[in-house]
Amino acid sequence: MNIPVARRRLAGIRCLQECISCFKERRKLPESLCYVASKLEYQCVSRTVLKLHSDQEKSGNKCPVRDLICVPDSRLFVTGEDFCNSQGKWLRLHRYKASPSADDVTFDRDTWILLYTSKSSTEDVPSIKLVTSDRKHSLNRLVGWEDVVNSNFSLQLPCRRAKIIPPDEEAVAKLRAVPFNWSLEHDEALVRLMSQHLSPENEQLGIIKNYVDSIDVSTFCDEAGPSSLTDGDPDTYWESDGSQGQHWIQLRMKKGTVIKKLHLIVDGSDDNYLPSRIVIQGGEQDNLKMLNTVSLDWDVSDTEELLLLEHISEHYPIIMIKIKECKAGGIDCRIRGIKITSTEERSLGFDIDFFKPENLIRYPKLESYSAEELYRRSLVLQRFMTLLDSVLQYIVPAWEYSVGSYQSLEYVRQLLPLSKKRLSLVETFLKESSTERPQEMPKLFLNRHAAMEHKVDISADPECKKSIFVQTFEGLKPRDRHTKPLDYRLVQQQVMDGL
């Protein structure tokens, strides 16, 4: 095993245990978790004009204090404390050096610059970039809290420790501060608020997970489901199982995602399963408009990418791909994969404007706290969950629970809705809690066509008798009153606990 990697894992577990102790005892979280660098250096990548704002003006729409003309050699020295609101991400400027030979310009009062706006794309390169190396001593300098956690909680000789930029004591104190009368119940309420606005984690999305929230299809055969569209394997495929001309793929796009190119991957060996006419629509669910029609009027001999959309200029929440016809009058179709080239809106996470009073109506425990207190607490919780996700597979292995780590994790189970690995954690717990195979396996018959009719028009089945859930529930219900009923409480209890 690579020793540095092992030490980083152990450092994360040590810090995690310390954090859980802080939650239990209502103490301030470790300084390493709340680390904020006191000074960061940025370099201009091109000639640009930066707008300087005062602390009061950055949250409004007032004019900037002044303009700052920067060239590629210009250096900006900022504090490590950043700030996000509905406008974008801000940096607090402390000092400016126009060129290596120029004198430093120091800013006495709070002066802020906008690093990038909330509407910018991830492909938009900021006009300034972070300098992470120490040119004088040719040493790497740690500027991120994760690196500081690894350095401070790992066992290593002092001479081998990397150089850490001194922390911004004021900013660290703000992150570590526990609001008045704050408890784990308040953290739970804050997590519930935040989790309601997180994109669902869907392991089926595979290679398109950065652009798509969910994918749905009209029908599919047993082993040829929608996950085959995104697994990146050309040997697997989605195969429909319905009426001719009624097959479709629906993509629910992430907020702000603009498609540059959209391809379907098809294979010539599928013969009359190949689509021959495809209609692509986009827009809101109840207001889709035509974007393109594609006809496959040539012979496909091998795996081929079929271009559906190109250079789309706006965001469409829903992309609907309808297969209207198949080759030689085929009834069902096969698609080997979906490929998307796209720009996505830059995510700022939860900015301070997210915690405005109108968003707290359903969370009375949070209403007495200011937006700034909730914003900073949310930053700490997100760091804690990032740390937990990085070591979760080592403290809750699939084959055995360790003595101390699982009990500690159980104490903070209310925070797990923020975990990106919460679904795999549920799966692990379900496997560990499963009972022995019963002597007589119940037989379950599902009418998939009836379930699809219910899905298309719920109003025709108001009691949901055709739904998959009701069919499963009724199918597994004991027929003999002396038979022990199935116990559904396990999954329900895990959902109630936040998993």
Whether residues 133 and 215 fall in one domain: no
Residue 411 inside a domain? The answer is no
- Whether residue 497 is predicted with pLDDT greater than 70 in this model: the reply is no
pLDDT tens digits along 97-120: 888 888 888 886 678 888 888 777
Question: Is-contact 104 96, C-beta < 8 A?
Answer: yes
Question: Is-contact 220 241, C-beta < 8 A?
Answer: yes
Local structure of residue 231 (DSSP, 8 states) = S
Residue 295 inside a domain? The answer is yes
- Name the 3-class secondary structure at 258: strand
Local structure of residue 447 (DSSP, 8 states) = -
Please give the average per-residue pLDDT across 348-377, as a whole number. 90
Question: Is-contact 191 225, C-beta < 8 A?
Answer: no
Question: Is-contact 149 11, C-beta < 8 A?
Answer: yes
- Whether residue 94 is predicted with pLDDT greater than 60 in this model: the reply is yes
- Whether residue 47 is predicted with pLDDT greater than 60 in this model: the reply is yes
Q: For residues 492 and 433, what is the distance between their CA atoms, to the nearest angstrom? A: 13
Q: For residues 464 and 39, what is the distance between their CA atoms, to the nearest angstrom? A: 60
Which of 343, 361, 383 is where one domain is finished?
343
Assigned token pair, 192 = 């519930």
Please give the average per-residue pLDDT across 179-191, as a whole number. 92
Q: What residue has token string 């956690």?
A: 149
Whether residues 221 and 320 fall in one domain: yes
Per the structure, the complete domain to which residue 455 belongs is given by 448-496
pLDDT at site 492: 42
Which of 313, 343, 373 is where one domain is finished?
343
Residue 83 inside a domain? The answer is yes
Residue 469 inside a domain? The answer is yes
Q: What residue has token string 């009426």?
A: 243
Q: Chain-wide mean pLDDT for the chain?
A: 81
What percentage of residues in the chain have a pLDDT greater than 70?
A: 79
**Nearest-5° Cα angle at 427, 485 to 430:** 30
Whether residues 306 and 223 fall in one domain: yes
Whether residues 260 and 135 fall in one domain: no
* Domain harbouring 277, CATH code: 2.60.120.260
Residue 30's pLDDT band (cuts 50, 70, 90): very high
**Nearest-5° Cα angle at 88, 82 to 91:** 30
Residue 198 inside a domain? The answer is no
Whether residues 139 and 223 fall in one domain: no
Whether residues 137 and 214 fall in one domain: no
Q: For residues 398 and 406, what is the distance between their CA atoms, to the nearest angstrom? A: 12
Q: Which of 130, 69, 129, 127 is nearest to 102 (CA)?
A: 69
- Whether residue 134 is predicted with pLDDT greater than 70 in this model: the reply is no
Please give the average per-residue pLDDT across 150-165, as a whole number. 74
Whether residues 131 and 217 fall in one domain: no
- Whether residue 1 is predicted with pLDDT greater than 50 in this model: the reply is no
Residue 234's pLDDT band (cuts 50, 70, 90): confident
Whether residues 132 and 229 fall in one domain: no
Whether residues 224 and 115 fall in one domain: no
User: pTM for the full model?
Assistant: 0.66
Which of 143, 172, 191 is where one domain is finished?
143
Residue 408 inside a domain? The answer is no
Please give the torsion angle defined by the CA atoms of residues 203, 205, 211 and 216, in that order, rounded to the nearest 10 degrees.
-120
Residue 356 inside a domain? The answer is no
pLDDT tens digits along 255-281: 878 888 899 999 988 888 999 999 999
Please give the torsion angle defined by the CA atoms of residues 15, 16, 22 and 24, in that order, rounded to the nearest 10 degrees.
-150
- Whether residue 345 is predicted with pLDDT greater than 80 in this model: the reply is no
What is the domain count for the chain? 3
Whether residues 220 and 301 fall in one domain: yes
Residue 439 inside a domain? The answer is no
* CA max distance for the chain: 90
